[in-house]
Amino acid sequence: MSKVNNEIAVQERREFGKNASRRARKAGLIPVSVYSKGKESRSFLIDADEWKVLSGHGAHMVTLVNGAAKIPALVKEIQFNYLKNYVLHVDFQEVDMNEEITDFVPIHAHGESVGAAHGGILEQELHELEVTCRPDHLPEAIRVDVSALAIGDSLHVKDLVLPEGVRVDIDPETTVFHVVRPKEEEVAEPAAEATEPEAINEKKAEEKEK
């Protein structure tokens, strides 16, 4: 289940614009926006180090703590500066804990497949799964035991063990993992041109005899 105690403190953001955002990041803070159904968006700042720890779990559901108020929210978008490796901005979507939500969660393989241990290659066809559930049932990831997969075996959506209260709307026959044989090295075929010089030489020899 999602860890609803994934809490992070927020502080009101009072300055806006590029210069204000730069000053905030220099002070170790990240600008964030919280969107709510039927309400205006709100802007806050969160501690960059605290966010690094929280996001390191792969958390999808978090609780934003604003003084005495707590805002349950989904992580919707994280903007990165990839050159300098830091977070520019985070968008959250406030949720109602009594209403179902739909979100994508990653699928992770667990264990070493029998087929891979015997020279096969484990391939993952589906890397994330769209699930519907209440916010407090949202898993951070779906772990799949692939240890029983032999070469030629497949594991499908219908084989996944989903947490209680979580459902999916996808073809149950969709392949998630399968184990294939490694591609054999192509054997070089002898060049067809190799016999051509021999045929030409034989023709010349016949002409000389005549």
Q: Provide the pLDDT for residue 34.
A: 94
Average pLDDT of the chain, as a whole number: 84
Q: In the chain, pLDDT over 90 holds for what percent of residues? A: 54
Cα(101)–Cα(81) distance, rounded to whole angstroms? 29
| Lookup: tokens for 175 | 């392949």
Are 16 and 9 in contact, with CB atoms under 8 Å apart?
Answer: no
| pTM, 2 dp | 0.71
Query: Which band of pLDDT confidence, cut at 50, 70 and 90, is reported for residue 22?
Result: confident
- Rounded to 5°, the CA angle 19-20-22 comes to 65
Query: Which band of pLDDT confidence, cut at 50, 70 and 90, is reported for residue 191?
Result: low
pLDDT (tens digit, 9 = 90+) per residue, 135-169?
989 988 999 999 999 999 999 999 999 999 999 99
Cα(74)–Cα(129) distance, rounded to whole angstroms? 16
pLDDT greater than 80 at residue 206: no
pLDDT greater than 90 at residue 198: no
pLDDT greater than 80 at residue 21: yes
Are 180 and 146 in contact, with CB atoms under 8 Å apart?
Answer: no
* H or E element in which residue 103 lies: strand 101-110
Return the bridge partners of 132, or none.
102, 167
The residues, any chain, with a CB within 8 Å of residue 151's CB and separated by 6 or more, are 115, 118, 119, 120, 179, 180, 181
Query: Which band of pLDDT confidence, cut at 50, 70 and 90, is reported for residue 189?
Result: low
Domains of the chain (ranges; CATH) run: 7-94 (2.40.240.10), 101-180 (2.170.120.20)
Q: Provide the pLDDT for residue 3.
A: 44
Q: Provide the pLDDT for residue 150.
A: 94
Phi, psi of 206, rounded to the nearest 5 degrees = -65, -40
Return the bridge partners of 72, or none.
63
